[in-house]
Amino acid sequence: FDYQLLTGKHVVITAGPTREAIDPVRYITNKSSGKMGFALAEAAAEAGARVTLIAGPVNLPTPSRVDRVDVSRAVDMFDACMKTVDEGCDVFIATAAVADYRPTVTADHKIKKSTEEIHLTLVKNPDIVASVAEHDKRPFTVGFAAETRDVVAYAQAKLVNKKLDMIATNDVSGSNVGFNSDNNALTVIWPGGHKVLPLASKAQIAKQLIELIAIRYKD
């Protein structure tokens, strides 16, 4: 591992889930632990980068030499990301499991039990990584795709649709990889190539992915 790989570069990473409030005591979220994003932040810092980690609600310590920004809702994560991209950064890695939808309204008070059936209306959240890839000051943009089937085909479509430079995909149907696991296996795809990173600790996978990103970024 080359400890100067990203010296002088500013790397921005999103991690963890987002939390979309229904009322003051209830919210919609997902199973993301944030471990992959935090491991990438640590690896990028070890590679000499200045790292900004924009984290949803997770229970993880901040890696050393990493600037952390804590957010809760997808719209807050969006604002924090756009601010750092406006200011200028070199590489953007989106590992966060951003909620696709949020409740259209957040009730001011706890919703009381009433009828047998109640309905929750949801509205789409902004796509953060796609917005970053469309920015005037577009950094080298990397996405993630967690799928339970047709992993590579869905990832390839996301690479194109979201105009990404690279996408890392993992199969989250098994319990030994993805979400809360300490291990992961990835297939990394970019326009014109791909590489399989076999099952290893998230720390090891993170170092390998940072190396791949640095090589493709410099091309």
Query: Least distance to ligand C5P from the beta carbon of 205, Å?
Result: 15
Residue 63 CB, shortest distance to ligand C5P, in Å, is: 19
The nearer residue to ligand C5P, 49 or 74, going by C-beta atoms, is 74
48 versus 155: smaller Cβ distance to ligand C5P: 155
Rounded Cα gap, residues 7 and 4, in angstroms: 5
Nearest Cα residue to 143 out of 82, 83, 194, 96: 96
CB of 127 to ligand C5P, least distance (A): 4
Q: How far is CA 38 from the centre of its chain?
A: 10
State CA 89 to chain mean position distance: 16
Report whether 218 belongs to an annotated binding site.
Answer: no
- Annotated ligand binding at 191? The verdict is no
| Closest separation in Å from C-beta 77 to ligand C5P | 8
Q: Are strands 122-124 and 183-190 parallel, antiparallel or unpaired?
A: unpaired
127 is in an annotated binding site: yes
Mark out the alpha helices in 47-147 (DSSP H runs). 74-87, 128-133
Q: Is 182 annotated as a binding residue?
A: no
CB 12 within 8 Å of CB 54: yes
User: Residues interacting with ligand C5P, by CB under 6 A?
Assistant: 14, 74, 94, 96, 98, 125, 127-129, 143-145, 158
Active site residues: 30
Determine if residue 83 is labeled as part of a ligand binding site.
no
Closer to ligand C5P by CB, 48 or 166: give it.
166
Nearer to ligand C5P, 49 or 145 (CB): 145
Place of tokens 């719209």: 75
- DSSP string for residues in 79-103: HHHHHHHHH--SEEEE--B--SEEE
Known binding residues for CTP: 100, 110, 126-129, 144, 158, 162
Known binding residues: 100, 110, 126-129, 144, 158, 162
